Amino acid sequence: MNCSEGRFFFGGRSLGSRWMHPTAEAQFRRGRGDRIKKACWISELAQKKKKKKKKKKIQEEDTRRRRRRRRRRYTRKKKKKKKKKKKIHKEEEDTRRRRRRRYTRKKKKKKKKKKKKKKIQEEEEEEDTQGRRRRRRYTRKKKKKKIHKEEEEEEEEEEEEEEEEEEEEEEEEEEEEEEQL
């Protein structure tokens, strides 16, 4: 018997060497063999029941964990339902597109300007660290001229791109009008 309170007892009539419950041991000392057998058997049963209970608890915990994991998995995978778009007239839709395009263009322009400013600042900081003041003034003038030229070129390119986009938009509008007719 594997009892938490029991002691290991060697020998003992028909029992042999086993873990014995303290009550069983006491009865054995008094010389009642069959009672000992009964006590040992009862304590063994109790231990088996305990083991079964432990196993059940462990299994239940495992199942709970698995269920939680599954829930988590499925909750992660769930996507939000998309709202159905209301049907809008084509003219309104076109105006919206144009606005969006304008907004994105403006954003891009702002980003480009910021990048240019950053570059210029970094170059100036590098020059400051080098400590060439006389040359710096001269190079600054040169750079300013260069930057001015580059800005003009970029502005021309942007204007050309805008004109192309406007032409494309006009073509799209014409196609839509033809489709409507």
Measured distance CA(124)–CA(118) in Å, rounded: 10
79 part of a folded domain? no
Measured distance CA(45)–CA(42) in Å, rounded: 5
96 part of a folded domain? no
Q: What is the pLDDT of residue 9?
A: 44
121 part of a folded domain? no
105 part of a folded domain? no
Q: What is the pLDDT of residue 59?
A: 92
Among the listed residues 33, 5, 35, 31, the one whose alpha carbon sits nearest the alpha carbon of residue 20: 5
Those residues of the chain that have pLDDT short of 50 are 1-17
Number of domains in the chain: 1
27 part of a folded domain? yes
Q: What is the pLDDT of residue 5?
A: 41
Domain that holds residue 36: 7-70
How would you class 44 by CB atoms within 10 Å of its CB: exposed for 0-12, middle for 13-18, buried for 19 or more? middle
Q: What is the pLDDT of residue 60?
A: 92
Answer whether 39's CB lies under 8 Å from 2's CB: no
Type and span of the H or E element at 32: none
94 part of a folded domain? no
The structure's pTM equals: 0.23
98 part of a folded domain? no
Beta-strand runs (E) in 17-98: 18-20
